[in-house]
Amino acid sequence: MNKPLRRVAIFCGLLVLALLIRDNWLQYVRADELNAHPRNKRVQIERYANERGNIIVDGKPITGSADSQDPYYKFKRTYTDGPMWAPVTGYASQAYDANQIEKIEDGILTGNDDRLFFDRTMSMFTGDKKKGGNVVTTLSGAAQKAAFEGLGNNTGAVVAIEPKTGKILALASTPSYDPSSFAGYSAKDEKAWVALEEDKKNKPKLNRALREIYPPGSVFKVVTAAAALENGKVTDIDAPTDTPEPYNLPTTRVPMKNHARGCENASLNQAMKVSCNSVFAKLGDEVGRDKMVEMAEKFGFNAEQFTPVRSAASVYDKKADRPGNALSSIGQFNTATSPLQMAMVTAAIANDGKLMKPYMIDKLESPNVDVIKQNEPEEMSRPVSAETAQKLQQMMETVVSEGTGTKADVKMDGVKVGGKTGTAQHGEKNAKRPYAWFISYAKTDQGSPVAVAVIVEDSEGTNREDISGGGLAGPIARDVMKAVLKSRS
């Protein structure tokens, strides 16, 4: 071979080698990246080429699939009672992707998960259409309905947990949205999506139960009481606490304002019953910032939670000075929490000090309903001893039987209810309408089947002076607890 031909041959060989390297790079190294690329329409088209598996509550699907009449995307997602279940399911949209359970378990629901390889292979031989698997939730339809209807036109959220297992029984957020309204790829779907995106005032797509954190106000006092008991600052809940009236914040001349009477030298039990700010601010200072942080973090503060949907991290300030820590101890200053977090606190107390990891997916099923994965209860921590938990229960039950939480009593034979009210001030100089909180649990001789946290962020038609945790949020918690108790009787 002469020299010019050899050079041409070598050059052509290098081109072929480069092509092979490039081809292998694209097909193997970057395969996952390109498959997930938002501009890869083939992935989206394949995703909606078959009926999607369902999300199940109480043995029944709350989702479905319908012919979308689109030349590319054959099926679109449908939802039963979409606004009620949106905080649980999230959405699956041909145009706007998916979120929450619809996104996290997309592989199971579409049938593309590697664990469904056998089902896909068998369908090739049998000629059956490809199907997605199912996601079976821990949710209670009765509890969810009570929570959603209880919130009504108010802005707020409800979380209910089974204390013994950590199973989430209700997860409601209002105002909400209908995921069906933008599940397709039409101009109508686009209009619905844009309207939701532009509603900055109501934020209907915001999952307030998981993704919003609020000042907890007086419901946080149960955490402060737990810290005081665990650290030996209080041993007898009925003994005087040596709290002056007025009580000045430590190192200041700023008096702590009480909205209740009888707080001077009140016992811990009495202070919980009428919600004395001074007693809990003083105890928080005596416990000290570091021990308060430690207790809050044992309950789950300062860390994201995964249900498996991610929840925003609740906050207890690790760097607060003494006055700031005292205010933090009554749920003000920089303290902020999600409704899920306060439900976790309540569930741990109701479960004699054992905090179970919250979760809302019970199991994953194949298209022929074989179980692919079964989730089991998992202990997360033990924030307090059983003795401390029982003292907290005693105080919380007094709140409902004699104190600020009487409207939350379910009044059912053999059932005791413990709770704590909270009215959280916020905004510059506390100028905004306060948040109404209520946390509670119901207890029978078999233990506690449900713990609830409710926040009413804004109540339609309610005067500022009439906003209270016991008055607004308490009845919602009561109805959710009743729904769970009745469903198990």
Q: Cα 110–113–119 angle (5° rounding)? A: 85
Closest CA to 151 of 439, 486, 454, 408: 454
d(CA 19, CA 319): 58
Q: How many CB atoms lie within 10 A of CB 3?
A: 7
- Reduce the DSSP state of residue 29 to 3 states and report it: helix
Report the residue count for the chain.
489
Considering the candidates 140, 218, 440, 459, report the single residue annotated as catalytic.
218
Closest CA to 151 of 175, 126, 131: 175
Q: Which helix (H) or strand (E) holds 273?
A: helix 268-274
| Residue 465 structure tokens | 């002076």
Q: Are 192 and 444 in contact (CB under 8 A)?
A: no
Q: Mark out the alpha helices in 36-182 (DSSP H runs).
A: 41-47, 82-89, 100-104, 106-110, 117-126, 141-151
d(CA 1, CA 190): 65
218 is annotated as an active-site residue: yes
- Where does residue 420 fall: left (phi above 0), alpha (psi -120 to 50 degrees), or beta otherwise? beta
d(CA 356, CA 381): 7
One-letter amino acid at 76 equals K
List residues with catalytic annotation. 218
